[in-house]
A and B are shown apart, each in its own frame.
Chain A
Amino acid sequence: MIQATELSKKYGGVTVLNIEALEIPKGQTFGLVGNNGAGKTTFFNLILDLINPTTGSVINNNIQVNKSEDWKPFTAAFIDESFLIGYLTPEEYFYFIGELRGMNKADIDTFLAQFSEIFNDEIIGKKKYLRDLSKGNQKKAGIVAALIGNPEVVVLDEPFANLDPTTQIRLKKLLSNLTKDSNSTVLISSHDLGHVTEVCERIVVLDKGVVVKDLKTSEETLKELEAYFSV
């Protein structure tokens, strides 16, 4: 589904990302781990064509992302709060995203119903603008909005950060179901090794912009990762 070839990004002579070749097949839950500055967000930004690569390219479902915009209809993402429109209520935000993805209000209402557990009565019908919600609730709204319209590719940067424990567990369940039910390709990054090993079928470790480990998740993966990071 997603191929990165010879992909690199330099800022003022410093290489922050350098991936020779990485392929993420359709329907995979793909986890990206690495310490701060490893290049996780840079990689996601490149996939979404939010920054220009210094060399190489990202191909999303046979479309080179910086050449054509045709990858947008089947790709969705939540990277940070700048993906939220602060002066809308959560409902209005969902309707807006829904409209862009060809769903009407009724569709969105049914879609949102399945998230009532996650929302925990703190998001819908609260007469609050997104900018006034807590960080955790903003994150919930952003993640749910990224799932609107059954996108084939979902990119989530640190989805577990800022979430309460209950929501973390529910989100894990949700993400696992996503690939099973609709065959979506899910890309997430996380600092929590436990969460990624639970959710992802495959885990790639980045260090200073380079892929240092590419693991198929198994019983030993968590131990291996912990060993790798406990230096």
Chain B
Amino acid sequence: MIKHFMNFEWKQFFRSSYWQKSIAINILMVFFALYFILVFLALGFGLYPILKKQFPDSDPLIMVNGFLFYWFLGDLVMRFFLQKLPVMNIKPLLILPIKRSKIVHYVLGKSMISFFNFLPLFAVIPFGTILISEDYNTTTILVWMLLMVVFTLIVNFLNFIIESKSAETELSFLPIIAITSGLFALNYFEIVSISGLLANAVNSITENPILLLIPFGFLALLYFVNYSILRPKLYVDGSLKAKAQIATTSDLAWTRRFGDIAPFLQLDLKLIWRNKRPRSTIFILVIGLLYGLAFYPNPVYKEMVPMFIFVGIFVTGIFMINFGQFIPAWDSGYYKLLMSQNIKYKQYLNSKFSLMLMSAILMFILSIPYVYFGWKILVIHFAAMIYNIGVNSHVLLFGGSFNRKKIDLTQRAAFNYQGTGAVQWLIGFPLLLFPIIFFYIPYKFIGFEAGIATLIILGGIGIVFHQKLMDGITKRYLKSKHKMISAFDQSN
């Protein structure tokens, strides 16, 4: 049976249009994976010499054990956002003569061979080998390495429990943030020294291998909890069917002021508020707004004014870039309706433009307090806003006409690459890079004011020729209409 499951997985992966179409994403993922492997290898090989050099009096193994707590905490948070329980298409299997427990065991077993569980090995094995070669007790180190694997698996299964519990709440990432920051705070303020406790536990286990039974027992317990969470969900009215939300209606009467684009504006606002994926663009707004704090107070960047342009474009344009690059894929689920309804393409696009325009202005206003770090920053943000409105918004709309990727609105957002294509990556860079270049050249040769003026003039040109630009963009969309319809019609 397992053989069949594996076979299905293989076919599902290679026959999905996702794989066949987005080689670029896969290359990118492989690149990330290689990068992390290298980082962990470097850590594994470098840790011992570095610790020995910096703290010649301490035992490197004991020191590493002291840091394990932070490692696991970080691992847990990372997994929560990146790793999902490898669900298989269960529905067709339910009525076949397969034991339900077998399906659950298979799903849980498969989660163990995740990349996330192998990653630590790239650090643990070199580090352990070096320790053995440095005359540590071989049994102790082997037990320690085994223990690390068990801990990794514990984090693996703990994460799925947290995920399944928090999936039921609205702000799905709040529980994990609360749990990890709670643990961190308990430890940091030395209310309970968890890192110390964990270090002691690890130390005593490595000295007393029989104690390994405790982490193994804990792992088995977590496995069992996962099993008992999943097992009752294998019914079509269980997890396989999404829960119906209570609808909240709002008539958004204030949008009437915007004339003939009002219905689309209402639709977009509801789109953003009522679906998980676009709703997260709102939370990203907050992150974008706080982004400046990473740069402005830091004296290192004091003289790097072009860097501030980057921050300015980012702060005033974060919503624009996040939302804009998936136009019109947000509407991919009902694109056929829009295309056969009494809609002028230009109105539809104008509504998207207005939304981006409003977000840029709003973000500029909200970022005014940054003037605390100098009036220049306010000027930069203003110029960046004008540039975003005049240039970037039109570039994004234009880029959207090349969009061929459907978005399933109900999916989660962070690191969800659904709907991203090579075009999105290509379009992201110039949005941030070009304004820096446009600013830098006059800034270098003439001065700060000239750089700012260039950005404002470029943005101004875009705003003045807005109608003309929109006509051109509309033509592009009309031209690729049928291609988009057929692309959005395919499920991923």
B282 at the interface (CB under 8 A from A): no
Please tell me if the beta carbons of B267 and A85 are within 8 angstroms of each other in the complex: yes
Please tell me if the beta carbons of A132 and B342 are within 8 angstroms of each other in the complex: no
Which residues between 248 and 278 of chain B lie within 8 Å of chain A, taking CB atoms?
A: 248-249, 262-263, 266-267, 270-271, 274-275
The stretch of A22-30, A43-51, A173-181, A194-202 that contacts the partner chain: A43-51
Q: Which of B245, B267, B275 contacts A96 (CB 8 A)?
A: B267
Q: How far is the CB of B482 from chain A (nearest CB, A)?
A: 5
Q: How far is the CB of A31 from chain B (nearest CB, A)?
A: 20
Please tell me if the beta carbons of B336 and A82 are within 8 angstroms of each other in the complex: yes
Mask, A37-56, CB within 8 Å of B = 1, is 00000000000111110000
Please tell me if the beta carbons of A50 and B340 are within 8 angstroms of each other in the complex: yes
Q: Which of B246, B263, B333, B485 contacts A51 (CB 8 A)?
A: B485
Please tell me if the beta carbons of A82 and B340 are within 8 angstroms of each other in the complex: no
Please tell me if the beta carbons of A87 and B343 are within 8 angstroms of each other in the complex: no
Q: How far is the CB of B193 from chain A (nearest CB, A)?
A: 48
The stretch of A69-77, A109-117, A161-169, A220-228 that contacts the partner chain: A69-77
Which residues between 75 and 113 of chain A lie within 8 Å of chain B, taking CB atoms?
A: 75-77, 79-80, 82-89, 91-92, 96-97, 99-101
- CB closest chain-A residue, reference B244: A132
> By DSSP majority rule, is chain B's interface helix, strand, loop, or mixed?
helix
A119 at the interface (CB under 8 A from B): no
Mask, B323-350, CB within 8 Å of A = 1, is 0000000000111110111111100000
Please tell me if the beta carbons of B249 and A91 are within 8 angstroms of each other in the complex: yes
Q: Which of A82, A101, A126 contacts B334 (CB 8 A)?
A: A82
- CB closest chain-B residue, reference A100: B342
B98 at the interface (CB under 8 A from A): no
A128 at the interface (CB under 8 A from B): yes
Please tell me if the beta carbons of B341 and A128 are within 8 angstroms of each other in the complex: no
- In the complex with contacts A96-B267, A129-B245, A86-B344 CB distance below 8 A: no
Mask, B58-96, CB within 8 Å of A = 1, is 000000000000000000000000000000000000000
- In the complex with contacts A96-B267, A127-B246, A87-B274 CB distance below 8 A: yes
In the bound assembly, the distance between CA atoms of A72 and B334 in angstroms comes to 16
B409 at the interface (CB under 8 A from A): yes
- CB closest chain-A residue, reference B482: A52
Known contacts A127-B248, A129-B245; 20 additional CB pairs below 8 A are A48-B339, A50-B336, A50-B482, A69-B345, A72-B341, A72-B343, A73-B342, A76-B341, A79-B336, A82-B334, A86-B334, A87-B275, A88-B270, A89-B249, A92-B270, A96-B267, A100-B343, A101-B342, A126-B247, A132-B245
28 pairs from A and B in contact (CB 8 Å cutoff): A49-B339, A49-B340, A50-B485, A51-B485, A52-B482, A69-B344, A72-B341, A76-B340, A77-B340, A79-B336, A80-B336, A82-B336, A82-B489, A85-B267, A85-B334, A86-B409, A87-B270, A87-B274, A87-B409, A92-B270, A99-B263, A100-B263, A100-B343, A127-B246, A127-B249, A129-B245, A129-B274, A132-B242
